[in-house]
Structure 1
Amino acid sequence: MQLILILLTVIAGMGLSVEAGLLGPLGQQVGHLWATFSIFGVGAGLTFLLMLFFAPRNAPSFFAQPSWQLMGGILGVGYVVFLTMAVPVIGITPAMIAILAGQISKSLLIDHFGWLGMPAKKMDKNRVIALIFIVIALVLVAMDKVA
């Protein structure tokens, strides 16, 4: 089951690259904030329909949850705005590797310290080496844009 979830997550990650390819040109045509709004508007509409037909009817109230958990929406907007601005300038590949480097570096800290209610998983040399390889990939790909 874990392998299937990893595979589905890789496929979802591929969708982020397509989203970046759509957002960059859209942001140049209508503006970065309008492009971001369109992504979240369409996403909210689709999520509403999915909730309407597939969400459990007896789920706990959304408003009863801790307010700090809603911060993901704020972070998501920042992510999409910066992605919309960066992709036309640096390209999809460097943008995705930069995002990955940021995600992995913060994920290592969240796992290590058990932040956000996650179980602690200590940082080891393999995880650090993996992050170093991602940073090396970013440097190699970004050098192409600088040269």
Structure 2
Amino acid sequence: MQSSSLDSVAAVATPTARPGLRLLLLPLVILAGMGLSVEAGLLGPLGIQVGHLWATLSIFGVGSAILFFLLLLSGPQQGPALSQLPRWQLIGGFLGPVYVVVLTLATPHIGIAMTMIAILSGQVGKSVLIDHFGWFGTTRKKVNAERWLALLLIVAALVLIARG
């Protein structure tokens, strides 16, 4: 699945994490995850009021406007033009709206906790595979007993929340 051009792009795009930086980023990532739960709570009712696709478009419209404003403030950007990037790197532009539409559809029916733990189980499951095989140019991290146990515990949490 990997090619030499894939590897060379990933080598440039994958920085080595410094221990101090990892400690600073972890709380930030946890807060971002909390933001996703808030987003799910907002999107469900918005989707019911205006329609699921309109709700998704409004969320991405506001986000795009904020990003555009931040880009204007940040000055010239370094790096290749979008046309020079491998097309597979732009798949996230498709996956983001799919994720938000699913949040908008699912949350009113199964609740925020169930939606988030289901998303988490999918994210962790796929992340373990991506790490294990080194897909997308990531550093390979073999699946070991601890990673299998972590995935199993997340699935157990999904089952317990579904039953509760």
Provide the residue aligned with 1:37 in structure 2.
57
Provide the residue aligned with 1:124 in structure 2.
144
* Aligned residue-pair number: 144
Shift of the alpha carbon at 1:58?
3.4
Which residue, 7, 20, 41 being the options, matches 2:40? 20
Give deviations 1:40-84, integer Å, cap 9, x for gaps: 111111111111112543332122111111110111111111110
The answer for unaligned runs of 5 or more in structure 2 is 1-20
Secondary structure class of the residue paired with 1:12: helix
Aligned residues: CA RMSD: 1.0
TM-score, normalization: structure 1? 0.94
* 1:13-92 aligned within 5 A: 13-54=33-74, 56-92=76-112
Measure, in 2, the Cα distance between the counterparts of 1:101 and 1:108. Answer: 11
The answer for unaligned runs of 5 or more in structure 1 is none
Of structures 1 and 2, the one scoring higher in RCO (CA 8 A, sep 6+) is 2
What is the percent sequence identity of the aligned residues?
59
Residue 74 of structure 2 aligns with an amino acid whose one-letter code is: F
- The answer to whether residue 150 in structure 2 is matched with residue 139 in structure 1 is no
Measure, in 2, the Cα distance between the counterparts of 1:76 and 1:44. Answer: 12
Secondary structure class of the residue paired with 2:140: coil
Secondary structure class of the residue paired with 2:91: helix
Measure, in 2, the Cα distance between the counterparts of 1:70 and 1:26. Answer: 28
Which contiguous aligned blocks of 4+ residues in structure 1 show a shift greater than 6 angstroms?
none
Measure, in 2, the Cα distance between the counterparts of 1:81 and 1:108. Answer: 24
Measure, in 1, the Cα distance between the counterparts of 2:41 and 2:99. Answer: 14
Q: Which moved more, 1:53-62 or 1:82-91?
A: 53-62
Measure, in 1, the Cα distance between the counterparts of 2:91 and 2:78. Answer: 24
